[in-house]
């Protein structure tokens, strides 16, 4: 099977951002790269939908809160 081509990106993050990345990486048992990869996938997924005019909601039992300005 052909392996897809890869490119390297050097990321400069603040201490706070790095902390968040570390925490997510630990909580989700993913490498930091995998976390960022997931973040990119999710960001794009949300973006595509919002471009279509759809709204993003979080639901908690009976309450629905719109996630604006995402």
Cβ-based nearer residue to another protein, 2 or 14: 2
Question: Is residue 61 involved in binding another protein (CB under 8 A)?
Answer: no
Phi, psi of 2, deg, nearest 5: -70, 135
Question: Is residue 20 involved in binding another protein (CB under 8 A)?
Answer: no
User: CB atoms < 10 A from the CB of 53, how many?
Assistant: 6
Question: Is residue 26 involved in binding another protein (CB under 8 A)?
Answer: no
From 17, 54, 56, 67, residue interacting with another protein (rule: CB under 8 A): 54
User: What's the distance, CA 3 to chain centroid?
Assistant: 24
CA atoms within 13 A on the CB side of 3: 3
Question: Is residue 70 involved in binding another protein (CB under 8 A)?
Answer: no
């Amino acid at each position: 099977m052909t392996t897809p081509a890869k490119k390297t990106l050097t990321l400069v993050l603040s201490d706070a951002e790095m902390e968040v990345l570390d925490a997510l990486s630990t909580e989700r048992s993913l490498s930091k790269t995998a976390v960022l990869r997931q973040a990119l996938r999710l960001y794009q997924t949300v973006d595509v939908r919002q471009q279509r005019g759809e709204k993003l909601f979080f639901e908690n039992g009976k309450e629905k809160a719109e996630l604006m300005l995402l």
